[in-house]
Structure 1
Amino acid sequence: DLPAGAKIIKAEGLFAYPGMIDGLCYLGLQEISSIRATVDYKETGRLNPQAKTVEALRPDSMHIPIARSNGITAALVAPSGGLISGQSGLIRLVGWTPEEMIIKSSVAMHIQFPSLPRLRRRRETQPREQASKQIKELKELLKQARYYQKRKNLAKKNLELHFPEFDEKLEFLLPVVNGELPVMISVHADKDIKAAIKFVKDEKLKAIFFGVTDGWKVAEDIKKSGIPVVFSSLNSVPPKWEDGYDAFYRNPGVLAKAGVKFAFSSGSASTVSNPFRSFDFISPV
């Protein structure tokens, strides 16, 4: 029985959908991309595991009500830039304060995986070496975090041992090396995806891939790794013309057939919208 005074909505002939979740965006972190003062998803420096996007969240962002009216009710707001960008948080798109909006303040640690050059050229030797150096830097930092954890554990058991000096960066990496917090690795090219899979396996990390533009080329490798994927915006063109104009649209289908778990995202702040809304534009065709 309906309670007295209940509002009745006549929905005959309409469609009802659950609220959509944007898998990665910058809602509440970016207002106008060309005005630096309104862009808060990038921290200075290259290694920022201690940075949390929810600490910079602006509930009064004009993009939030627009996204909400388009059917998005929750979003993963993520950092970007550097090598280790920081931690993303899950928010609901309603609330007057950050505290009212935050569902979970720390969802994943975000890594911008070093990109190897696409073409083999003599002048690209330096970028190739730089990418390898950055991967080694990531591994070394995780090694330090594990050693830091070991020293803390030993000091707890043996009062004669001193605790290591507090290190903020290593402290926030402990949930990562302990398998409590997943890393979301931004990676796009096929050879970079393979390198990222090896990195995750070697470091025994709980991981999610973001972007995977060339995922369709290495779908079986991704499937075997068991790593789920969050696609970036599909409204783009392939980096190489020989991949075909529809490579971005084929990508999810190929990975779906391979059995890869995936989700979609806008990877933006101003283009957050319900993907089903696109049907309104193509239905007359």
Structure 2
Amino acid sequence: MKKLTYILAITSLVSFAQQTPAPKQTKSILIYGGIAHLGNGKIQEQALISIQDGKIASISDGKLAKPAKHDLMIDASGKHIYPGFIAPNSTLGLVEIDAVRASDDESEVGTFNPHIRSIIAYNTESKITETARPNGVLLAQITPRGGRISGTSSIVQLDAWNWEDALVKENDGIHMRWPNSYSRSGWWAEPGGIEPNKKYDEQVKEIQDFFTNSFAYLSAKPAIKDIPYEAMKGIQEGTKTLYIQANGQKEITDAILFKKKNNIQKLVIVGGYYAFKVADLIKENNVSVLLRRVHDLPNSEDEDVNLPYKNAKLLVDKGILVGLENAGDMERMQTRNLPFYAGTCAAWGLSKEQALQLITSNTAKILGIDANYGTLEAGKSATLFISEGDALDMKSNLLIHAFIDGREISLESHQTELYQRYKKKYEQN
């Protein structure tokens, strides 16, 4: 019986594999007549976008120029064109089914694991990944979990045969969970009180000792290699970003002081729920924030119930570079809602184009891929999509074309297959 159950489980995983990756672009493409949201806060009405060899060859005003002849002409009149959305701090492709242990590769045992590379466990044929693409999420930062230092992330595009094909930027940064200065007792239905973490100073010292020892090791260049310490080289040299998960005011402050003490050049706060309380310190130290899931409840019962929705504006108004991330319960399945998080930020203070930047150009800058992604500009990757309506509004977000590096990708998924199947059933009645 166990053997049969195992076979059925494997069959169910294989039978609905991800759509076949699109072939390399060979024909020139011209998109004309659409409203182009450039991702940098600007809009181009009646845009002409020429795509050649996987790049945006040009983008111009259709009112001033006539469309040149291309192999494929796409009329986007009345429709909206966007750069591909980017999902940072994501575990897409690392876990398929939470209850099936063999499909869970998001974490490793141990406390300090900077050498763990999430990319080699990334599954390009995940069914969950293909559910994010129909809402415009075309890029993701694949990030490990667990331990104090979880490991090293990499950035991928979401239409590939294997992880090597998917790579956009390999080993971009190391992810660390800062200790909490307080802990909550009880559970969500009956929360208890808030208690101080008596081991907070000890846990911070453990982090400092690891960094001190690793930097000393790298400076000494010993003959015997220590793999975890070797992985810290990029942080010491400033070629990698240190992503620190911290939400509390004290935790964020201590993380920034840690940055200064250890001369860490690139630091991003992940989560950042109370970052607005120390916004000046964050801005002064050139730290970016990947803001935690917007569709959430406030941390405290006496807080503004709308604080999670307003958080992005509070930081943007202070001049901080802000992106949106989606870690938490059911985070892989919720990736498809990333554009609607941005839409909520627009409903609570930001303009639509500012909100769009939270999941395009801002995130691209934070991840260090803005030279090729994040905005619609000549010379950049043709990773973009066309939507019937406003892509930040779940009522009108309806993709009709999507491209990754100029390759038109499939927008089909297991859900769309079921939709078509049962649509025919009701048409027969």
Per the shorter chain, which TM-score range? 0.7 to 0.9
Please point out which of 125, 128, 143 is paired with 1:78: 143
2:101 maps to which residue? 36
Q: 2:323 aligned to 247, 260, 263, which one?
A: 263
CA distance in 2, matches of 1:199, 1:193: 10
SS in 2 for 1:270: helix
2:283 is equivalent to residue 223 of structure 1: yes
Q: Which residue number corresponds to residue 314 of structure 2?
A: 254
Distance 2:393 2:200 in 1: 41
Offset at residue 118 of structure 1 (A): 5.9
CA distances 1:143-198 after superposition (whole Å, capped 9, x unpaired): 1112112221xxxxxxxxxx342111111112212222110000011111111111
Deviation (angstroms), 1:39: 2.1
CA RMSD of aligned residues (A): 2.1
**Stretch deviating more after TM superposition (265-274 or 183-192):** 265-274
Against the structure 1 CA distance between its residues 245 and 123, is the aligned structure 2 distance closer, same or farther, given a 3 Å change threshold?
A: closer
Overall identity of the aligned pairs, in % = 25
Q: Given the alignment of the two structures, is residue 279 of structure 1 paired with residue 393 of structure 2, yes or no?
A: yes
TM-score normalised according to structure 2 size: 0.59
Where is the helix percentage greater, Structure 1 or Structure 2?
A: 1
Residue of structure 2 equivalent to 1:150: 219
The alignment partner of 2:317 has SS state of: helix
The answer as to whether partners of 1:52 and 1:105 remain within 8 angstroms in 2 is: no
Q: Deviations over 1:26-58 (max 9, x none)?
A: 111121234333221111111111101101000
Equivalent position of 1:155 in the other structure: none
**Bigger CA radius of gyration:** 2
Among 242, 256, 261, which residue is 1:183 paired with? 242
Cα distance change on mapping 1:225 and 1:166 into 2, 3 Å:
same
Structure having the higher strand fraction is 2
For the Cα contact (< 8 Å) 2:175–2:242, is it kept in 1? yes
For residue 239 of structure 1, what is the aligned residue in structure 2?
A: 299
Q: Distance in 1 between matches of 2:80 and 2:227?
A: 49
1:133 aligns with 2:202: yes
Partner amino acid, structure 2, of 1:139: Q
For structure 2, the 5+ residue unaligned runs are: 1-67, 185-192, 344-390, 398-429
Report what 1:170 is aligned to.
229
DSSP 3-state at the match of 2:205: helix
51-60 or 261-270, larger mean C-alpha shift:
261-270
- Is the contact between residue 80 and residue 112 of structure 1 (CA under 8 Å) also seen in structure 2? no
Asked whether the equivalents of residues 231 and 263 of structure 1 are also in contact (C-alpha less than 8 Å), the reply is yes
Asked which structure has the greater RCO (Cα within 8 Å, sep 6+), the reply is 2
Contact persistence 1:19–1:74 (CA under 8 A):
yes
Counterparts in 2 of 1:242 and 1:281: CA distance versus 1, 3 Å? farther
3-state DSSP class of the match of 1:149?
helix
* 1:74 alignment partner, SS class: strand
Residue identity in the other structure for 2:211? L
Task: Give 1:208's aligned amino acid.
Answer: V
Deviation at 1:124, TM superposition (A): 4.2
The farther-off stretch of 174-183 and 271-280 is 271-280
SS in structure 2 at match of 1:272: helix
Distance 1:234 1:39 in 2: 26
AA of the residue aligned to 2:171: S
Contact kept in structure 2, 1:142 and 1:177, CA below 8 Å: no
Q: For residue 194 of structure 1, what is the amino acid of its counterpart?
A: T
Total equivalences in the alignment: 267
Please give the TM-score of this superposition, normalised by the length of structure 1: 0.88
Conservation of the 8 A alpha-carbon contact between 1:151 and 1:164: no
Q: C-alpha offsets along residues 67-125 of structure 1, whole Å, 9 cap, x if unaligned? A: 11110111111111110000010000011111110111201100001110168xx9945
Equivalent position of 1:2 in the other structure: 69
CA distance in 2, matches of 1:26, 1:184: 15
- Shift of the 221–123 alpha-carbon distance from structure 1 to 2, 3 Å rule, reads closer
User: Residue 196 in 1 paired to residue 263 in 2?
Assistant: no
- What letter matches 2:278 in structure 1? V
Corresponding residue SS for 1:100 = helix
